[in-house]
């Protein structure tokens, strides 16, 4: 029996869809990416505190059908029947993540009722808010899957996911506690800046970043941000790190910078904040396994390895039987499985919740 994981991250490049079986480890049957149309991406990007509720509701509905279509196509491509799929775990599309205020919440859209109705498959969604109800950050949630999939007895490793934002899971080989947290920006600022200046969606292979040279003054200014020195657990998102944040810092400089210089600086910022976090919390660890879109940026990977030196080997999860692009989608398939088994999956040392909890709401189709 199979499970499907559906994921659209803060980079909003596509709906990632993974068809998986679970034994002692996740076994990937098929993975596809279903690119989002530019018009849909722009609708998501335009959501803010002044957005019309009707517009948000319409987009929630639209994404529900997009996610359902992805699941149905995945089933067709895999040449299996939908009744062979136990459940779909849908992360949805995050439009709000505010983990630090008293009224903390995290909102993902892509109506799971529509996904369930259109596929005829039980769908699990809204994974983050139960953790928040118990005082947690609601993120990162994939650390428990990282433990299941990658933890070994002989080597202490770091799982580094670089999506729009970067997060780490530290898996010690002994029985020490597992920790995980968002280190800060991943691809989000890089994507936003190149989109504004070059009208393209992302910096392929880091080529534009490589055409400039990081500015030391701007880098120093960006690194002074309080988020990077906050104690863990912590998580972040576009509500905090965005173009407004970047431009506020650029305004503090007494000079104009070429756009490619800013891009090169942003890549350095991502690499430094990731490696600073790893070196602070992962002393004695020997390997970093990278997943997410950032694993496909050779310049970023080179910078991370250079900063970590010879103490840690930087590779990708693809070397450990799970392609780096699909890890988060597979994780949400696994989270759906755990929900149906009524098992808690959040890790209090990761999210800061005051208790472990069963995460996700179940949306079952009408079987009449």
Query: What are the start-end ranges of the H helices in the chain?
Result: 38-45, 53-78, 112-119, 129-133, 143-150, 188-198, 207-210, 216-223, 243-252, 259-281, 298-308, 327-340, 348-351
- Segments making up each domain of the chain, as ranges: 2-139+326-363, 143-320
The reply to whether domains 2-139+326-363 and 143-320 share a CATH topology is yes
pLDDT of 215 higher than 80: yes
For 249-265, the pLDDT digits (tens) are: 999 998 999 999 999 99
Spatial separation of the C-alpha atoms in residues 352 and 368, rounded to whole Å: 42
How much is the pTM? 0.95
Q: How many residues does the chain have?
A: 368
60 near 110, Cβ under 8 Å? Answer: yes
For 264-279, the pLDDT digits (tens) are: 999 999 999 999 999 9
Find tokens 């040392």 and name the residue: 349
Domain spanning 143-320 has what CATH number?
3.30.420.40
| DSSP for residue 228 | G
Give pLDDT, residue 49: 86
**For residues 216-237, average pLDDT:** 97
Residue 134 token pair: 């118990």
In the chain, the N- to C-terminal Cα span, in Å, equals 22
Helix (H, G, I), strand (E, B) or coil at 118: helix
Helix (H) or strand (E) holding 24, with range, is none
Per-residue pLDDT band for 311 (boundaries 50, 70, 90) equals confident
pLDDT of 7 higher than 90: yes
Give pLDDT, residue 366: 84
Q: How far is CA 175 from the centre of its chain?
A: 26
Spatial separation of the C-alpha atoms in residues 197 and 203, rounded to whole Å: 11
Q: In what order do the strands lie in the sheet with 179-185?
A: 179-185, 165-171, 157-162, 287-291, 313-316
> Which CATH number is correct for 2-139+326-363, 3.30.420.40, 1.20.1050.10, 3.40.50.2300, 1.10.260.40?
3.30.420.40
128 near 148, Cβ under 8 Å? Answer: no
Per-residue pLDDT band for 350 (boundaries 50, 70, 90) equals very high
**For the ranges 1-15, 106-120, 215-229, which has the lowest average pLDDT?**
1-15
For 58-115, the pLDDT digits (tens) are: 999 999 999 999 999 999 999 999 999 999 999 999 999 999 888 999 999 999 999 9
Instruction: Tell me the pairing of strands 157-162 and 165-171.
Output: antiparallel
Spatial separation of the C-alpha atoms in residues 297 and 319, rounded to whole Å: 16
């Amino acid at each position: 029996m199979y499970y499907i994981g559906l994921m659209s991250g803060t980079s909003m490049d596509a709906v990632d869809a993974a068809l998986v079986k679970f034994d002692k480890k996740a076994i990937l049957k098929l993975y596809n990416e279903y690119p989002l149309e530019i018009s849909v991406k722009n609708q998501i990007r335009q959501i803010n505190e002044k957005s019309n509720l009707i517009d948000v509701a319409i987009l929630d509905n639209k994404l529900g059908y997009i996610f359902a279509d992805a699941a149905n196509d995945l089933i067709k491509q895999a040449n299996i029947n939908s009744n062979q799929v136990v459940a779909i775990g849908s992360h949805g599309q995050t439009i709000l993540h505010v983990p630090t205020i008293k009224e903390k919440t995290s909102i993902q859209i892509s109506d799971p009722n529509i996904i369930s109705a259109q596929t005829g498959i039980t769908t699990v969604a809204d994974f983050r808010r139960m953790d928040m109800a118990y005082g947690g950050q609601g993120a990162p949630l994939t650390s428990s899957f990282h433990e299941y999939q990658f933890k070994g007895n002989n080597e202490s490793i770091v799982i580094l996911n670089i999506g729009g934002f970067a997060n780490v899971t530290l898996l010690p080989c002994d029985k020490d506690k597992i920790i995980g947290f968002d280190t800060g920006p991943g691809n989000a600022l890089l994507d936003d800046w190149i989109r504004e200046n070059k009208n393209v969606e992302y910096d392929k292979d880091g080529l534009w970043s490589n055409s400039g040279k990081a500015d030391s003054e701007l880098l120093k200014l960006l690194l002074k941000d309080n988020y990077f020195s906050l104690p863990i657990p912590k998580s972040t998102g576009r509500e905090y790190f965005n173009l407004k944040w970047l431009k506020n810092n650029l305004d503090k400089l007494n000079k104009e910078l070429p756009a490619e210089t800013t891009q090169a600086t942003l890549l350095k910022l991502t690499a430094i904040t990731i490696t600073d976090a790893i070196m602070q919390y992962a002393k004695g660890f020997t390997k970093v396994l990278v997943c997410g879109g950032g694993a496909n940026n050779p310049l970023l990977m080179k910078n991370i390895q250079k900063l970590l030196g010879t103490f840690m080997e930087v590779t990708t999860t693809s070397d450990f039987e799970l392609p780096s692009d699909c890890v988060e989608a597979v994780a949400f398939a696994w989270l759906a499985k755990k929900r149906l088994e009524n098992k808690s999956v959040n890790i209090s040392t990761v999210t800061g919740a005051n208790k472990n909890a069963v995460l996700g709401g179940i949306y079952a189709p009408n079987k009449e």
